[in-house]
Amino acid sequence: MVQSPPRDGQPALRRRPGRGAAGFLRDLVVIVVVAVLASFLIKTFLVRSFFIPSESMQNTLQVHDRILVNELVPGLIPLQRGDVIVFKDPGGWLRQDYVAPPSNPLAAAGEWVLSVFGLSTQDANDHLVKRVIGLPGDRVTCCNSLGQLSVNGVPVEEPYVVKSSASDRVSDQDFDVTVPTGDLWVMGDNRYNSEDSRYHPDAPGKGFVPTSDVVGRAFVVSWPVSHWDWLTNYPSSFAGVGPPKR
Q: Point out the catalytic residue in the list 49, 54, 56, 222.
A: 56
pLDDT tens column, 168-177? 999 999 999 9
* Per-residue pLDDT reduced to its tens digit, 107-117: 555 555 555 55
Domains of the chain are 48-103+120-238 (2.10.109.10)
- How far is residue 91's CA from residue 240's CA, in Å, rounded to a whole number? 33
Catalytic member of 43, 130, 194, 222? 130
Q: What is the pLDDT of residue 106?
A: 59
pLDDT for the residue numbered 97: 43
Q: Is 130 a catalytic residue?
A: yes
Q: How far apart are CA 195 and CA 53, in angstroms?
A: 13
SS3 sequence of 85-139: EEEECCCCCCCCCCCCCCCCHHHHHHHHHHHHCCCCCHHHCCEEEEEEEECCCCE
Contact 46, 71 (CB under 8 A): yes
Helix (H) or strand (E) holding 185, with range, is strand 183-187
The helices-and-strands tally (H runs, E runs) of the chain is 3, 12
Q: Is 88 a catalytic residue?
A: no
DSSP letter (8 states) at residue 173:
S
Mean pLDDT by 10 residues, the chain (246 residues): 54 56 67 57 69 92 92 94 96 65 54 55 74 97 96 97 92 96 97 95 93 96 91 95 81
Q: How much is the pTM?
A: 0.75
